[in-house]
Amino acid sequence: MEHGYVVKFWLQITQDEQLRRFREREKPSPDSGFKITQEDWRNREKFRAPTTPRCAT
């Protein structure tokens, strides 16, 4: 990239808040139907995985 910007955003929510949002998104919506998939629930099980410390050696 010769010109431009890189912008990063970090969204941090608690596991309880994520669950609340997931349950809200399970409700049918007249505009877009269901907004959550089984993949979302599967990935939720990995909530802590990226923050688990690992030995680099």
Q: What's the whole-model pTM score?
A: 0.55
Q: Provide CB contacts within 8 A for 57, sequence distance 6+.
A: none
Q: What is the pLDDT of residues 4-45, one digit of tens each?
A: 998 998 888 888 998 998 888 888 777 766 688 889 889 888
Q: What pLDDT sits at residue 16?
A: 92
Q: What is the pLDDT of residues 39-54, one digit of tens each?
A: 988 988 877 666 656 6
Domain boundaries, the chain: 15-47
Cα dihedral 9, 12, 43, 20, rounded to 10, equals -130
